[in-house]
Amino acid sequence: MVDRDDPFRTKNQLNARLEGKYHNIAENVGKCVFCDLRDKYVVTKQDQWILTVNIFPYIDGQVLVLPERHIENYHDLTNEDVLAGHELVKTGIGLLQRELEIENYWIILRQGPIAGKTVSHLHWNIMPYIEGLNTWHFQEISITPLDLAERLRGALEK
């Protein structure tokens, strides 16, 4: 039986972002969607990492790379984790290039309370890039590059 109110119905997934429905779905799902990811969305798995489509994509071709276990903070990844995840990022990029001829993309990992991440489970977005999709708003700079380098080198020693 098809649940007509199921937010994960294909019809609801297609333009949930565009129609402003996504936030309501994300807030009411009540579980970690990445820990509960259905196999039908998974492209491939390797070394406890998953390459999956985004269930509520921003743009055609968006895929995600995430660890199978629930990790929220980048610092909780081991070096082995990072390398294994990176292999799947490369796989994802290669597949998008081959299948959709996507040449431009951003690889985005969001971290922190206002960074825009709605699923806490750590994930890289491989986001096909078209002009205007992602607009970076340049900010007024108050720390010179030399000062920043000096301060960060100093912080290395703390």
Residues 56, 62, 63, 64, CA torsion sign: negative
**String marking each residue 72-111 x if it binds Zn ion according to CB under 5 A:** ----------------------------------------
Distances from the Cα of 96 to the Cα of 42, 103, 110, 140, angstroms:
14, 8, 21, 35
Q: Report the half-sphere exposure of 147 (CA within 13 A, side-chain side).
A: 4
- From 55, 56, 121, 124, residue interacting with Zn ion (rule: CB under 5 A): 121
DSSP SS3 for 38: coil
Instruction: Give least dist CB 131 to Zn ion, A.
Output: 33
Size of the site for Zn ion (CB under 5 A): 5
Residue 32 makes contact with Zn ion by CB under 5 A: yes
Q: How far is the CB of 140 from Zn ion (least distance, A)?
A: 37
Amino acid identity of residue 63, one-letter, is: V
Which range binds Zn ion by CB under 5 A, 11-19, 34-42, 49-57, 132-140?
34-42
Nearest to 93 by CA among 84, 80, 83, 106: 106
* DSSP class of 69: S
Candidate segments 22-30, 67-75, 88-96, 131-139, binder of Zn ion by CB under 5 A: 67-75
* Complex with Zn ion: residue 35 or 148, whichever CB lies closer: 35
Question: What does the binding site for Zn ion look like in residue numbers (CB under 5 A)?
Answer: 32, 34-35, 70, 121
